[in-house]
Amino acid sequence: MTIQVSPSPIPNSDAVSLTSTLLDKDAYLTGLLNQVITTRTEGWLQELRDGAANWVRHSTIPTTREEEWRFTNLSSLQQVQFHVKTQSIPTDIPALIPEAANSRLVFVNGIYAPELSAVADLPDGVVISNLAGLSESEQEGVRQYLAQAEGAQEVFTALNTAGITDVAVVWVAKNVVVETPIHLLFISDAGETPTISQPRCLVVAQMGSSVTLVEEYTNRRGAKSAEKEEVYLTNAVTEIWVGENAQVSHTRVEQEGAEAFHIGKTAIAQSLDSRYTCHAITLGAKLSRHNLEILQTGEQTQTILNALTMISGKQLADTHSAIALNYPHGTTKQLHKCIVGDRAHAVFNGKVFVPKPAQLTDAAQLNRNLLLSSKARVDTKPQLEITADNVKCAHGATVSQLEDDEIFYLQSRGIDENDARNLLINAFAAEVINQIPVLSVQKILLNTVNSLKSLPND
């Protein structure tokens, strides 16, 4: 399969206005669209929004009859009426990353919060800002990339584009190496009424540059809080453009509240000789879905995808990844791990496309799942589609429970059964967490995993 990079066609605004009242195929989706379209502007951004809105009106909410959504039922989402909430500044916010003390953007309910952000002492050639804070020339640069990634017409991605009011922008110029990590923090503070927020990120790492990102989604208390949980929907889209010989290390942490819905898209385009690494951690939300899409646009790219999903209760966490290797000498390594307790349900569908031009590709994909309960469930589908004949490709999946002999061995060394179980669970998770390059994030996540001791085994 060959995917070409080309901007999605945007209908002109006149066509949108003439047809919009005739194309509302899904009443619930139209209601969401009407909520997120809160303002009108002039110029290229409004044209982009109008084109996406027109596409949403052509679309419907995915159902389990569709192959890509057959294990993820959105009926519980459709029972909630969401509203846009104005920004509020919470007094209690999640732990911040000390390494990013001067390189942090914070958005609350999708709205930029300068009071909580900190951008100072950045190297020349590095821009970290919201869209409204950019100069005209910088906005013109953003225009060339925003909403131009493949998959822009997926229904939730288009919904996000239709409601764009602001964007978290990270721009790294040619040959600039950013030594400190950049923290993009998105906080939901819903209150009594179910709310919807649509964070949008654009990251451009130009030729020869290097940057480390931490992208975090949470409510003001974090996942699995003892307080009454708020109901809200986060519909997030992140586009990352990795230039020739550039390097991006990306850590994505989803730790939404226990009654939240989270739908996220991460779209990456990799140029010649580029290197992209993603560490995706999923801990929160009642229902979460992460679409991770990587498009190779030049030879000799390296892609490393590590992921950990840890869920319990009745959570559903769905990860769909797709890697399109269209050129020779590409390398991709993917490890996706799930820890599933109680009645939770994890879904993994990983696709790697290796068409005939992608000779000498080296691709490996592994999904490992640990079930902590007889009622826990996992649906896994690692998938390779290969038409090239000179490649090295492998994939696999395992589903297992904690081994009795391993627990017995630890007990024989004086460790009680509960501690033995937790030790094995933590070791399973640490294989992914320990690869995160930001030490404070490692520590926070390991402490979070250690605190989740209530995952039952029956």
213 falls within a domain: yes
Expressed as residue numbers, the domain containing 171 is: 13-451
Would you state the pLDDT for residue 221?
59
| Three-state DSSP state, 445 | helix
Q: Are 396 and 367 spatial neighbours (Cβ–Cβ below 8 Å)?
A: yes
Q: Are 323 and 353 spatial neighbours (Cβ–Cβ below 8 Å)?
A: yes
157 falls within a domain: yes
Would you state the pLDDT for residue 427?
92
Q: How many helices (H) and strands (E) in the chain?
A: 9, 21
Would you state the pLDDT for residue 87?
64
Q: 0.75 exceeded by the pTM?
A: yes
Residues in the chain: 458
How many domains does one find in the chain?
1
| Three-state DSSP state, 250 | strand
The C-alpha atoms of residue 186 and residue 107 are separated, in whole angstroms, by 5
Would you state the pLDDT for residue 5?
38
The C-alpha atoms of residue 407 and residue 395 are separated, in whole angstroms, by 29
48 falls within a domain: yes
Which two structure tokens, joined as six digits, stand for 274? 């580029």
Written as one letter, the residue type at 23 is L
5 falls within a domain: no
6 falls within a domain: no
Would you state the pLDDT for residue 18?
38
Would you state the pLDDT for residue 23?
63
457 falls within a domain: no
Please provide the distance, in angstroms rounded to a whole number, between the alpha carbons at the two ends of the chain.
43
20 falls within a domain: yes
425 falls within a domain: yes
Would you state the pLDDT for residue 403?
86
DSSP H or E segment with residue 235 = strand 232-242
What tens-digit pLDDT sequence spans the chain (458 residues)? 333 333 333 334 344 343 444 567 899 999 999 999 988 887 899 999 999 999 999 999 999 999 999 999 999 999 999 999 876 676 566 668 999 999 999 999 888 999 899 998 889 999 999 998 999 999 999 999 999 998 899 999 999 999 998 999 999 999 999 999 999 999 998 878 899 999 999 999 999 999 999 999 998 654 444 457 889 999 999 999 999 999 999 999 999 999 999 999 999 999 999 999 999 999 999 999 999 999 999 999 999 999 999 999 999 999 999 999 999 999 999 999 999 999 999 999 999 999 999 999 999 999 999 999 999 999 999 999 999 999 999 999 999 998 888 888 888 888 988 888 889 999 999 999 999 999 999 999 998 888 765 444 44
